[in-house]
Amino acid sequence: MTNVLSVFRAALAEAVQDEIVETNVLYGWTYQRNDAPGRDDDVDPFTAEEQAAILGAMVGQEKICSSLRFGLACGHPS
């Protein structure tokens, strides 16, 4: 991100110098890094009963049901 901002800052500085724009909107601005994801493990997988209820409610949607069944079987966060 720093490399991209450097290019924009330089371009805007030149645009101000050449009087194309009035102000450099990036002057003095810094981006704030996001915090690293926490170590929370709030995974709450569906129980076998919940999986059966979800799949049972998908009558007539066999293609989606097959994909969802595969996702549930391998632990994919569907």
Per-domain residue ranges for the chain? 1-32, 45-78
Q: In the predicted model, what is the mean pLDDT of the chain?
A: 83
H/E element, 15? helix 2-17
At 2 the pLDDT is 66
Q: How many Å apart are CA 48 and CA 42, to the nearest integer?
A: 18
pTM exceeds 0.75: no
Q: Is the pLDDT of residue 78 over 60?
A: no
Q: How many Å apart are CA 19 and CA 12, to the nearest integer?
A: 10
| pLDDT-derived band at 18, boundaries 50, 70, 90 | very high
